[in-house]
Amino acid sequence: MKTANQDIMPITRKINTKGNVEIGGCDLTELANKYGTPLYIFDEATIRSMTRSYKDAFKSYPKMKMVYASKAFMTKAICKIMAQEGFGLDLCSGGEIYTADSSGFNMAETLFNGNNKTFEELTMAIDTGISRISVDNFYELELLNDIAKSKNKEVKILMRITPGIECHTHEYIKTGTIDSKFGFDLTQIDEAVNLITSEYKNLKLCGFHAHIGSQIFEKQVYYDEIGVIFKEIKRVNDKFGLNLNEINIGGGLGIKYTNEDKPISVYDIAETIIKSIEYHCDKYNLEPPYVYIEPGRSIIGTSGVTIYTAGSSKQASNGRRYQAIDGGMSDNIRPSLYQAEYTVEIANKPNETEQEIVTIAGKHCESGDILAKDVKLPIIEEGDVICFYDTGAYGYSMSSNYNRVLKPAAVLVNNGKSDIIINRQTYEELTHNDVIPESIMND
């Protein structure tokens, strides 16, 4: 069964009677006029469609726990939607913990993950009642136990391991290989378990956590990952007399950015994951464990688009035509960081014939500030609204103030209504934390 991550465009995208692109019942050119550009736009129907696809796909395995990987995009409004859809949250910083807690989210439905959690962040995690902390290294084991001991609390943990699984994705978003900054490698598990069971009495090990990467188009890697985790659970249970019964398999399901991308559906991975769990439960004579899955990009990515206003253009002597927009690498770093590619459309000219090959350039003082290279589009004129699809994941969450450019606003659209979920940054907010010390002040 097809799911929304397999489409380039949000499920509500259409061309309206004015000849403009519409998402969530809202004309993109009208949104540009109302809120300004650059502007992040999120289609609520697509977000909810993906959360419901996950729940439906895994409904035959009642011990499956869905947690949204909030690093993909997180605001208080997104927390509310996830709570309404019955999802927990995977958090990886103090800021994400604070956002979830201040939104009123049930922190007993959250996990905390990351390779260098600070004393302050771990303290916040314990104080807010986070359900599980995925411990990443020996340093953190000791630090977390000391904090828990000082508070006279027992903290439930998962041990993050690197399963040695290779998936075919960008090098920077592989996380499950042996050469990774994340987690204990398989040779370190016994030493860590021994410390937990003999010395760190304020930590309770519940199971293992592994994550194999992001933008994954393969099923087999999930099957193999679960096999590695089960093998280690069986071995550790037998050796240490434990009864570990929780696993976290991460997320990573890919989405369709361009026509060349061929992502699989949520139902495809669900079938593979459930088969692997059942097979390995039988193989190792284990009770079916509680299983966490952490989709992020596949939940939010397709729902989001970013619109820009066309500005200056240039015809280079080598033949390349550049079209500048009013945003760039500060609101979407992925093309510069990962060489990511996107599908682009002129929101006020979707039906016009594609006549020129252009390179969409950002406004920043960097030659590498290119959002789309050599794409075929209708003739672009100053003031046209240019839409980039599939920017819902890692657009705003990786944004910056490079060149002191303001961060864009974000809106949620649904049934013809648009609501601000992030206000556009102001110059006053940009400079709020600046300080001129007295030592350099003029008399």
Residue by residue, what is the 3-state secondary structure of the chain? CCCHHHCCCCCCCEECCCCCEEECCEEHHHHHHHHCCCEEEEEHHHHHHHHHHHHHHCCCCCCEEEEEEHHHCCCHHHHHHHHHCCCEEEECCHHHHHHHHHCCCCHHHEEECCCCCCHHHHHHHHHHCCCEEEECCHHHHHHHHHHHHHCCCCEEEEEEEECCCCCCCCHHHCCCCCCCCCCEEHHHHHHHHHHHHHCCCCEEEEEEECCCCCCECCCHHHHHHHHHHHHHHHHHHHHHCCCCCEEECCCCECCCCCCCCCCCCHHHHHHHHHHHHHHHHHHHCCCCCEEEECCCHHHHCCCEEEEEEEEEEEECCCCCEEEEECCCCCCCCHHHHHCCCCCEEECCCCCCCCCEEEEEECCCCCCCCEEEEEEEECCCCCCCEEEEECCCCCCHHHCCCHHHCCCCEEEEEECCEEEEEECCCCHHHHCCCCCCCHHHCCC
Question: Which residue numbers are catalytic?
Answer: 365
